[in-house]
Structure 1
């Protein structure tokens, strides 16, 4: 569970990022959100909680899946994220969708409130143990569904993180590790990778079973991230949580690192001048026991 300082840092980071979040022209959060909703097997009429809903990457696909006879509730720690999500709700005329500011680590709802609890590229930020997952189990009705997606951490056992293209991993990873050590928010996901609950399918299943879930399913699937240049990839990372890493690098050094990242990625252009980087995403689902 994140402490108060980490929670405040997440709040500030995503408030700063909200305006540009998922608006870079690079398809990333949208495809993950759509795939997560499909993977979660949400159905018409369900009541769904979207934890860390951001600007709505999973929120709006979930709204389509449950239909007007269902309900989707989005929560996010960032007031700015909620503002943009609510704009999307109004633009779409969705009467069965609500979004509010709330700390997703301890959602303030009564027990047995939802048929499904989902979180797209959010829960991995603070979930470290079975204890951190139990609050979501408590919100589910008997047999309810928990589902989440995250950039795959399976490669951390080899000192890599698949969110970074292989060609820039060794360049960026030290900066990421330093950023995580300074923030304290994510450090355990990288330090001692063997103890990271996301490091293997087996550790994921054990964590969820220890939390009280059953019928755990884990699937890793590549998402092709397509950019026109290395510079566009760097700009894209500024519109995600990776902005926190960049902002911790001294300005002159940051420019040099960004230029080198861009240069290396530009060598990956295909005959059409396009760069495609496969990013493995892990999709996880489990059920609340039926009593």
Structure 2
């Protein structure tokens, strides 16, 4: 479970990023959210909890999947994220969608409240062991579905991280590791890759089985992140949790780093002037026991 300090770090970061979060024009969170809803098998009429709902990448596809006869509840630690998601739900006329401020590490709902508990690019921030996922099992009805997605950590044992393009990985990783140390290990899974439950499909399966889940499935799929310039890729990262890394770098050094990252990525343009960065995403689903 995340510490008070790490929770405060997440709160500040995502409140600050909320206005631009997932709004850069670069498709990332929304296709992951749509795929997670599909992968989770959420059905019409279901009651769904979206943990760390952000600007609604899972919330709105889930609302479509359950239909007006179902229910989707989104929770997020950031008041700003919740504000924007609530406004979007209202504008879309989705009366079966509710969003509220709540710490996703400790959801305050009755046991057996939901048919499905999902979380895209959120749970990996704080989950480190079976103890951290067991609260989601408790929220599920018998036979209910748990599903989550995260940038793949399968390569972290080799000093790489899925969100960094190969061309800039060695350039950015020292800054990411320093940011983790300064922040009290926000996203600490990378800081201690060997102990990361997401490091292999087998460790994922063991963690969820130890928490009491059954019928566990793990799939890694590539998502192409498409930009027209290295500068646009950097701008995109500012609309994600990577913003925390950039903001810890002294201004003049940051300008030089951004220029070099942009230059390296610009060399990857294809004949159409497009840069396509493949980002591996891990999709995980499991069930609560039926009895």
| 1:125–1:185 Cα contact (<8 Å) kept | no
1:179-236 deviations in Å (ceiling 9; x for gaps): 0111123364123422210000000000000000001100000000000100000000
Aligned to 2:7: 7
Aligned pairs for 1:186-265 within 5 A:
186=186, 188-265=188-265
Secondary structure of 1:269's aligned partner: coil
Question: What is the alpha-carbon distance in structure 2 between the residues aligned to residue 191 and residue 75 of structure 1?
Answer: 27
Question: What is the alpha-carbon distance in structure 1 between the residues aligned to residue 147 and residue 22 of structure 2?
Answer: 21
| 2:75–2:104 Cα contact (<8 Å) kept | yes
Aligned to 1:183: 183
Structure 1 window deviating more from structure 2 (232-241 vs 181-190): it is 181-190
TM-score of the superposed pair, with normalisation by structure 2: 0.99
Aligned to 2:51: 51
Aligned to 2:64: 64
Question: What is the alpha-carbon distance in structure 1 between the residues aligned to residue 191 and residue 89 of structure 2?
Answer: 39
1:55-102 deviations in Å (ceiling 9; x for gaps): 100000000000000000000000000000001101110010000000
| 2:126–2:187 Cα contact (<8 Å) kept | no
Structure 1 residues without counterparts, runs of 5 or longer: none
Question: What is the alpha-carbon distance in structure 1 between the residues aligned to residue 188 and residue 10 of structure 2?
Answer: 16
Structure 2 residues without counterparts, runs of 5 or longer: none
Question: What is the alpha-carbon distance in structure 1 between the residues aligned to residue 193 and residue 82 of structure 2?
Answer: 33
Secondary structure of 2:191's aligned partner: coil
Question: Aligned residues, how many?
Answer: 291
| 1:2–1:185 Cα contact (<8 Å) kept | no
TM-score of the superposed pair, with normalisation by structure 1: 0.99
Question: What is the alpha-carbon distance in structure 1 between the residues aligned to residue 96 and residue 192 of structure 2?
Answer: 43
Secondary structure of 1:147's aligned partner: strand
Please report the RMSD computed on the Cα atoms of aligned residues, expressed in angstroms. 0.7
Secondary structure of 1:177's aligned partner: helix
Aligned pairs for 1:79-118 within 5 A:
79-118=79-118
| 1:113–1:140 Cα contact (<8 Å) kept | yes
